[in-house]
Amino acid sequence: MARKRKGEPIHGWIVLDKPEGMGSTQALSKVRRLLNADKGGHGGTLDPLASGILPIALGEATKTVSYAMDGAKTYRFGVRWGERTTTDDREGPVVERSDVRPSDEAIRAALPAFLGDIDQVPPQFSAIKIDGERAYDIAREGGTVELATRRVRIDRFDLVERPDDDHALFEVDCGKGTYVRSLARDLAVALGTVGHVHLLRRLRVGPFTLDGAISLDELATLEQGAAVERLLLPIETALDDIPALALTEAEAHRLRHGQTVALLTRQDRERLEALRGAAAGDGTVIALFGGKPVALARVEGAEVRPVRVLNL
């Protein structure tokens, strides 16, 4: 007996402006309930402390979540100087204090050292696994957490506002795996003090921005059909950096059935040459037929191999 579907088959992306005080999984569940969607995932976890962009993948868009998570991100965050916490944000108890308050000039002078590829130690309260256990579970139980340094990329780091001596507001453009809490902690140390993140808002994840984002309260006021029609972005939105390969009907049929497509004619070779200059480092492309996505595929020589078939 076939399993009864829990919800409607909805395929695409919703750009959610997540509120503070709610976890990413909780926010995803609420979106699915409001839209009666049968399947969903999200493109990058936001802590309950944080607000802002949480891309929600529905249906077959869940097969492209990893590409959204790999995208560059923009954050606006506030640092509270003079207090170090166990969590490197306002949710943990204060464990160290300092009377030093950096000047605007000192802050701006310190920022260039954090640009480019830098080494960063994640916060003890993070979801990284150590011998199968989450670091935050070990830390909560009073255990010692030793996390390896990781390489992250910072493309922009600006001082935006200085409300008072105790606080500063920043914006940062960064790559995958960057911990803003670690950035705030390390900047404070470089300035001869201590500090923690007291507010955090994500402004961008890859192609997903606050333009067109919707809050849960706004989403709840819309009828399901109207919400889907107005807000749903195409599956390929998360793949804006991946080149597209147009297929014939016969080629699309083969890829949909998990079969390799051979491109051997002169016209095929011209298609391949156009792709090679733009394809991702591993040769990944989004294969389309009639303007609709068929599969994520990989070009290997003169062959196109399906990686993730999109059942639309």
Beta bridge partners of 277: none
Instruction: Supply the DSSP symbol for 181.
Output: H
Q: How far apart, in whole angstroms, are the C-alpha atoms of residue 298 and residue 307? A: 7
Cα of first residue to Cα of last residue in the chain, in angstroms, is 23
Nearest to 164 by CA among 104, 108, 109: 104
β-pairing, 208-209 with 129-130?
Answer: unpaired
Catalytic residue among 17, 47, 173, 186, which?
A: 47
3-state secondary structure 263-275: CCCHHHHHHHHHH
Reply yes or no on whether 268 is catalytic.
no
Q: How far apart, in whole angstroms, are the C-alpha atoms of residue 219 and residue 36? A: 12
Say which residues have a Cβ less than 8 Å from residue 163's Cβ, sequence separation at least 6.
169
At 95, is the secondary structure helix, strand, or coil? strand
Other Cβ atoms less than 10 A from the Cβ of 243: the count is: 17
| CA torsion, ordered 247, 250, 256, 257, to nearest 10 deg | -150
β-pairing, 133-134 with 303-309?
Answer: unpaired
Contact 81, 162 (CB under 8 A): no
Residues with catalytic annotation? 47
